[in-house]
Structure 1
Amino acid sequence: MSVDLTLHAQGRLQQRAIPPFIIALLDEFGSIARCGGAERLTFDKAARRRLAREFGGQRNLHVIERWLGVYVVVSDDGLVVTAAHRTRRFRRH
């Protein structure tokens, strides 16, 4: 699946030094949570397990460790609206 970005999201990726391949990893392996009128993709514990399985173990995740706290917000029409580094816990509903 190809990931389409809004202009706002493109600016945020550049501003926050988040490489585009992290967005692709979130799209493929990230866990989805509904937030407002959109979906939030994160690397929670289950997503990290899926990533580790794909890349041959936990030790191989050190390459992308700095971006495991990144999340993206995806609108219902499939556009990435924004991306950021998580600074606190997300509340469950």
Structure 2
Amino acid sequence: MLGLIITMIIVGLIAGALARLIVPGRQDMSIVMTIVIGIVGSFVGGFLGYLLFHKDAQDGFLQPAGIIGSIIGAIIVLLIWSRVGGRRSVTH
């Protein structure tokens, strides 16, 4: 179980960091948020992989993806995050 958690954190960091490099613009977020974006992106990539290819149907439709699916999912999550986060206004 500990190995799974450590693997998810490492894959999340890699996928989140690569997504931040690929998506243009500046993203003001911490390393922890980068890991969270990568982990959520992994599940988004797994969900999209299930919808497109119907693989691993016995495991359910919410599953972690491989590193490529994680990066694609993290890019999608980061784009959504930047659009939603960009709408916030700060009042002084």
TM over 0.5: no
Give the number of the structure whose residues are more often helix, by fraction: 2
Give the number of the structure whose residues are more often strand, by fraction: 1
User: TM-score, structure 2 length as denominator?
Assistant: 0.25
Specify the structure having the higher radius of gyration (Cα). Answer: 2
